Amino acid sequence: MRCHVRIGQLVSHPCARTARGRCRQCDQPTCARHRAPGGDCVVCTGDHVPPSAPASVTLDEMLSFTDVEVAAFDAPAGARTGKLRDMDS
Ligand SMILES: [Zn+2]
Ligand SMILES: [Zn+2]
């Protein structure tokens, strides 16, 4: 069971950390980090707004990426220059 909360600045993707339980409201699996104290997920509590990234991947697709690739999905806008330039060259 993987956390469903969508994160990522460059590529929107499910968090996919091991979930600790299901949200009481939307019944989606949620990891400790995206779980509010009351047992709801942070999306339902309004504490997390899914990113409006230009691209997105599904949970199944997530499992085919390496940790390094997934880390690039989350690169903050300010830090993207070095990493993406390396991949392009
Ligand atoms: Zn929820
Ligand atoms: Zn999570």
Check pLDDT > 70 for residue 77.
Answer: no
Taking the CA of 15 as reference, the closest ligand is 2
Domain boundaries, the chain: 6-88
Ligand 1 geometric centre to CA of 69 (Å): 27
Between 45 and 51, whose confidence is greater?
Answer: 45
| CA of 74 relative to ligand 2 center, distance in Å | 13
Measured in angstroms, how far is the CA atom of residue 37 from the centroid of ligand 2? 14
Query: Encoding tokens for residue 82?
Result: 């070095």
Tell me the mean pLDDT in the region 28-46.
95
7, 13 contact by CB (below 8 A) = yes
pTM (2 d.p.) = 0.76
User: How far is ligand 1, taken at its centre, from the CA of residue 89, in Å?
Assistant: 41
Which ligand does the CA of 59 lie closest to? 2
Q: Which residues contact 85 (CB under 8 A, 6 or more apart)?
A: none
